A and B are shown apart, each in its own frame.
Chain A
Amino acid sequence: MIATAPPTTGFSQEVFDAFLADRDEPGWLTDRRVAAWKQFNNLGMPSNRDEEWMRTDIRLFHFDRFTPFADIKTPAELPSALLAVGVELAGHSSSLDSLSLSAELSEVWAKRGVLFGSLDALVKAHGDLLRPYIERQLIDPNQDKFSALNAALWSGANLLFVPKGVKVTDPFHSFSVLSSGGVDLGKTLVILEQGAEATLLTETASTDPDAGGMHCGSIELIVEKEARLRYVNLQNWGSGVWHFAHQMGHVGANAGLQWTIGALGSRLAKVNQHVALVGQDSEAQVNGVMFTHGKQHLCYNTHQHHKAPYCRSDLLYKSALQDKSRTVWRGMIKVDEKAQRTDAYQRNDNLMLSTTARADSIPGLEIEADDVRCTHGSTSGRVDDHQLFYAMTRGYTRQEAVRMIVTGFFQQVFDRIPIESVRDALGEAIGRRVRDIEQ
């Protein structure tokens, strides 16, 4: 049982001052936090008149109903992590309500100069190394109130740093847990130096599947020249959690990023996922799996930004919706004038499993170069009655048939994921949720 302090202070100046006093961080980092905190207080809540927010109503969200860094007791047992089952890991870390609980790194990789674990601790020990990457500021704290809050108060953060030329064969795993009513202000920073390779699996969960709470997070992926990163992020918070996140990947010349997200949990999610191809001949593949139920509302704004020539990006988001749930996907391919010979694609498919669910799918292109191939596609539809009928004539129950069809719907994404444990975890989590279709 977790004792959670009653929400009394919210995000007050006293909370921020106490947070800073407790951190003992390098001055340059404290200065950044102070500037972001000022911005957090200056910015208003996002308006539902803004295009980005008009389909995502957060008027029921109130900062003052949450208490960051409340005095919580670590439960005897954390919820089960899904992604690392049966996987040999190069490192593992965990956090609870933005407090780092554990961090382990295989000695083999530690000797090669790999850093993995709590950014809170590692930034103190390796400040000079990490400072230029943090100051690169992939995510602008001024973007909105949530980006400013995370920049000011990030805590319980993850770091993966892989030095030049080191190719880590086993994946890393990071697990963030939220207590009932808790606050998570996590940050993930991944740095792959030139020619490095790594796989990072991150996932989130709540101590209780029905728990409320708040996550305001950020992810920054820096993939330098000729490096390759496979990054998986499974969002599986409790059904009452507010989830706000800014995520950004920078891919250098001849480098590659494969980024897979699974969005299953939370009450409301508003995520900006941004991939920038900044070096010539770089590539990014972005995969998204969303499965919603109840009154969940998941909003993903994706951005594929081609800043250099000869780059390739390929985005595929697939959603299945039950009950009265809703998804919003707004995708943008932006091609700068100098990014000639770009090859970019984005696609969003929605499978409607109830008559009261709703999916908004809004692809977009903004192209300033004149020698590119940029395409997009979007589909929304119900389960095909003929497929259901056929499966049932072969002896399957209706629910078995629905489960098969939903699994088949997601197979296209699963086929792109090379990590077996991730395919299994997503497949199992989705399979558990499929119910009968409403007529």
Chain B
Amino acid sequence: MSEFLPVAMKAEVPDPGSLLVEIDEQLIVLIHAAGHYYALDDVCTHDGGPLSEGPLDAEEGSIACPRHGAKFDIKTGAALTMPATKPTRSHEVKVEGEQIFVRLCE
């Protein structure tokens, strides 16, 4: 199991908003929505598009790929709409004080 790693300060991610971070040679989109933080691979499983550049819908709890509009659940990474059919990876997030930590899933 990998460790929780500090990735950003709370002030860097507005609510609603997202931030692209590099963790252990991987690109992760850190999402802040409705008071909660989430972390997903910054990869649309349909065409490899960057989710961090797509629109975030905090009410619906989804983030969309800017290329073809595929939506993903920000909590689980599940593919919600076509053309994506496979989930993108979701990672554990915790907040201690002002610091946000992410633990990459295996």
Question: A residues within 8 Å of B by Cβ?
Answer: 48, 54-55, 57, 59-60
Contact = CB atoms under 8 A, between A and B. Distances in A.
A57 B50 contact: yes
In this complex, the interface size class of chain B, counting residues with CB under 8 Å from chain A, is 10 to 19
B50 A48 contact: yes
A223 B67 CA distance: 42
A172 B73 CA distance: 57
B22 A60 contact: yes
A-B pairs, top 10 by smallest CB distance, nearest first, are A59-B27, A60-B25, A48-B50, A55-B48, A60-B27, A60-B22, A57-B48, A57-B50, A57-B27, A54-B67
Interface in B25-64: 25-27, 43, 47-50
Contacts of A48: 49-50
Nearest to B67: A54
Contacts of B20: 59
A56 B33 CA distance: 29
A57 B27 CA distance: 10
Given A57-B50, A59-B20, A59-B27, 5 more contacts: A55-B47, A57-B27, A57-B48, A60-B22, A60-B26
Nearest to A328: B48
Contacts of B67: 54
Nearest to A55: B48
Contacts of A59: 20, 27, 50
A48 B65 CA distance: 13
Do most interface residues of chain B lie in helix, strand or loop, or is the interface mixed? Answer: loop
Nearest to A62: B22
10 contacts: A48-B50, A54-B47, A54-B49, A55-B47, A55-B48, A57-B27, A59-B20, A59-B27, A59-B50, A60-B22
B66 to A, nearest CB: 9
B55 to A, nearest CB: 16
Nearest to B50: A48
B5 to A, nearest CB: 16
A186 B26 CA distance: 29
Contacts of B27: 57, 59-60
A225 B53 CA distance: 50
Contacts of A54: 47-49, 67
A48 B48 CA distance: 10
Contacts of B25: 60
A404 B20 CA distance: 44
A321 to B, nearest CB: 15
B87 to A, nearest CB: 14
Contacts of B26: 60
A65 to B, nearest CB: 11
A60 B41 CA distance: 13
A241 to B, nearest CB: 14
A55 B49 CA distance: 8
A48 B51 CA distance: 12
Contacts of B43: 57
Contacts of A57: 27, 43, 48, 50
A60 to B, nearest CB: 6
A81 B50 CA distance: 39
A57 B25 CA distance: 12
Contacts of B48: 54-55, 57
Q: B26, B47, B48, B67 — which one has the most chain A CB atoms within 10 A of its CB?
A: B48
Contacts of A60: 22, 25-27
A59 B26 CA distance: 10
Contacts of B47: 54-55
Nearest to A56: B48
A55 B47 CA distance: 8
A165 B1 CA distance: 66
A59 B25 CA distance: 10
A48 B25 CA distance: 18
B89 to A, nearest CB: 12
B83 to A, nearest CB: 15
A246 to B, nearest CB: 23
B49 to A, nearest CB: 8
A354 to B, nearest CB: 15
Interface string B78-98: 000000000000000000000
